[in-house]
Amino acid sequence: MAADVRRSERGAASLLALGIVGATVALTALVVPATAAYAASQRAANAADAAALAAADALSGAVPGVPCALAERAAALNGAGLVACEIDGPVASVTVTVSSFAVELRADARAGPPGWTG
């Protein structure tokens, strides 16, 4: 009778291992895109900040150049594309996009002297 019990449980560990591997693959398939989207949104925010600061530096005279051209270059160096660049006195406002898994993520930033109301 003991031999019959062992034969009926043969292969159970293989099924358990297959289930664990399947669950791991499914979890990875969910976590990796979410993590990549979060990283891309942070990259977009960083690129927007850098672009706005570059434009504001040009506006203040700290750096020579055309503000929106410098903003576009700063965005490109950070892996983003400049969508909009608006100048209001000493303040620069920019919008950039970053692509991640065929999704365009946008980020806005503003740089200039504190308290400027325009």
Domain boundaries, the chain: 2-111
pTM of the prediction?
A: 0.75
**Phi and psi, residue 9, nearest 5°:** -95, 0
In angstroms, the CA 19 to CA 34 distance is 23
User: Looking at residue 90, what is its pLDDT?
Assistant: 93
User: Looking at residue 6, what is its pLDDT?
Assistant: 56
In angstroms, the CA 108 to CA 112 distance is 14
Does 82 score more than 90 pLDDT? yes
pLDDT in tens, 18-77: 999 999 999 998 888 888 889 999 999 999 999 999 999 999 999 999 999 999 999 999
Strand order in the sheet with 91-100: 81-88, 91-100, 103-111
Q: Which helix (DSSP H) or strand (DSSP E) does residue 78 occupy? A: none
**13 or 2, which is more confident?**
13
Cα–Cα nearest to 47, from 91, 85, 81: 81
Q: Which helix (DSSP H) or strand (DSSP E) does residue 99 occupy? A: strand 91-100
